[in-house]
Amino acid sequence: MERLTVAQALIRFLAVQHVGRDATRSRFFAGCLGIFGHGNVAGIGQALHQYRKQLPFHPARNEQGMVHIAAGYARQRNRLGTFACTTSVGPGATNMVSGAALATINRLPVLLLPGDTFAARTPHPVLQQLEVPNDATVSVNDCLRPVSRFYERVERPEQVIPAALEAMRVLTDPAETGAVTLAMPEDVQTEAFDVPAEFMEPRVWAIYRQPAALEPMVRAEQLIRSASRPLIVAGGGVIYSEATAALREFVDATGIPVCETQAGRGALVSDHQLSLGSVGATGTGAANRIAREADLVIGIGTRWSDFTTASKSAFQDPGVRFVNINVAGFDAAKQSALPLVADARAALIALGELLHGWRVAPEWEMRATEEAEWWTGEVRRVVSLPPEPGSPPSQASIIGAINDAAGERGVVVCAAGSAPGDLHKLWRAHDPDGKGYHVEYGYSCMGYEIPGGIGVKLAAPDRDVFVLIGDGSYLMLPGELVTAVAERIPMVIVLVDNHGYASIGALSRSIGSDEFGTQLLDASGNKLALDLATNAESLGARVIRATTIDDLRAALSVARDPDGPVVIYIEADRSAGGLDSESWWDVPVAEVSDEPEARAARDSYERARRSQRTYLGAPDD
186 neighbors 218 (Cβ within 8 angstroms): no
Between CA 243 and CA 116 the distance in angstroms is 41
- 384-571 belongs to which CATH class? alpha beta
CATH, range 214-375: 3.40.50.1220
Q: Alpha-carbon distance 160 to 182, whole Å?
A: 9
Residue 384: burial class (beta carbons within 10 Å; 0-12, 13-18, 19+): exposed
Residue-wise pLDDT for 142-187, tens only, equals 999 999 999 999 999 999 999 999 999 999 999 999 999 999 999 9
Please report, for residues 120, 223, 225, 244, the alpha-carbon distance to residue 239 in angstroms, rounded to integers and kept in the order given.
Answer: 46, 25, 26, 6
Say what the pTM is.
Answer: 0.97
Phi/psi for 137 (5° steps) reads -85, -10
pLDDT digit string, tens, across residues 220-262: 999 999 999 999 999 999 999 999 999 999 999 999 999 999 9
In the prediction, which pLDDT does 243 show? 98
The proportion of the chain whose per-residue pLDDT surpasses 70, expressed as a percent, equals: 99
DSSP state, 15? H
- What's the CA gap between 199 and 285, in Å, rounded? 55
Q: Which residues, in sequence order, are bridge partners of residue 34?
A: 59, 86
Q: Which residues lie closer than 8 Å to 585 by C-beta, 6 or more apart?
A: 281, 306, 307, 310, 311
H helices, E strands: number in the chain: 23, 23
Amino acid at 91: P
pLDDT tens digits for range 304-329? 999 999 999 999 999 999 999 999 99
What is the rounded distance in angstroms from the CA atom of residue 578 to the CA atom of residue 576? Answer: 7
Mean pLDDT value of segment 25-30: 97
Counting every residue, how long is the chain?
621
For range 23-38, the mean pLDDT: 96
Would you place residue 621 in the very low, low, confident or very high pLDDT band (cuts 50, 70, 90)? low
CB of 72 closer than 8 Å to CB of 97: no
Count CB neighbours of 486 within 10 A. Answer: 15
CA distance 605 to 306: 16
3-state SS of the chain: helix, strand, coil percent to 5? 40, 20, 40
Percent of the chain with pLDDT over 90: 90
Q: Could you read off the pLDDT of 277-297 as tens digits, one per residue?
A: 999 999 999 999 999 999 999
pLDDT of residue 437: 98
Could you give the CA distance from residue 428 to residue 432 in angstroms, rounded to a whole number?
12
Among the residues of 158-312, which ranges form H helices? Answer: 160-171, 186-190, 214-226, 236-240, 244-254, 285-293
Answer for the pair 306, 281: CB distance below 8 angstroms, yes or no.
yes
504 pLDDT tier (thresholds 50, 70, 90): confident
Q: How many CA atoms lie within 13 A of 519 on its CB side?
A: 19
List own/partner pairs for 529-538 with CB under 8 A and 24 or more apart: 530/471, 530/497, 532/471, 532/474, 532/475, 532/495, 532/497, 532/569, 533/495, 533/567, 533/569, 535/478, 536/478, 536/481, 536/493, 536/495, 536/567, 536/569, 537/567
Scanning 124-174, the segments in alpha helix (DSSP H) are 160-171
Right CATH for 2-206 from 1.10.40.30, 3.40.50.970, 3.40.30.10, 3.90.1150.10: 3.40.50.970
> How far apart (Å, rounded) are the C-alpha atoms in residues 245 and 324?
19
Contact at 8 Å (CB) between 466 and 405? yes
Reported as a pLDDT band with limits 50, 70 and 90, residue 560 is confident
**For 527-555, what is each residue's pLDDT tens digit?**
888 899 999 999 999 999 999 999 999 99
Give the mean pLDDT of the chain. 95
Strands 192-195, 2-5: pairing is antiparallel
Q: Do domains 214-375 and 384-571 have the same CATH topology?
A: yes
Concatenate the DSSP letters of all residues of 20-52 into one string: EETTEEEESEEEEEE---TTTIIIIIHHHHHTT
CA distance 446 to 241: 27
**Domain residues of the chain, as ranges?**
2-206, 214-375, 384-571
DSSP 62-82: -HHHHHHHHHHHHHHTTTS-E
Rounded to an integer, what distance in angstroms lies between the CA atom of residue 30 and that of residue 458?
A: 9
Per residue in 370-427, pLDDT (tens digit) is 999 999 999 999 999 999 898 999 999 999 999 999 999 999 999 999 999 999 999 9
Interatomic CA distance for residues 590 and 23, integer angstroms: 56
Residues with Cβ within 8 Å of residue 433, at least 6 apart in sequence: 239, 242, 244
- Nearest-CA neighbor of 229 among 285, 291, 295? 295
Provide the 8-state DSSP code for 241.
T
> Band of the pLDDT at 620, cuts 50, 70, 90?
low
Give per-residue pLDDT as tens, 567-611. Answer: 999 999 988 877 889 999 999 999 999 999 999 999 999 999 999
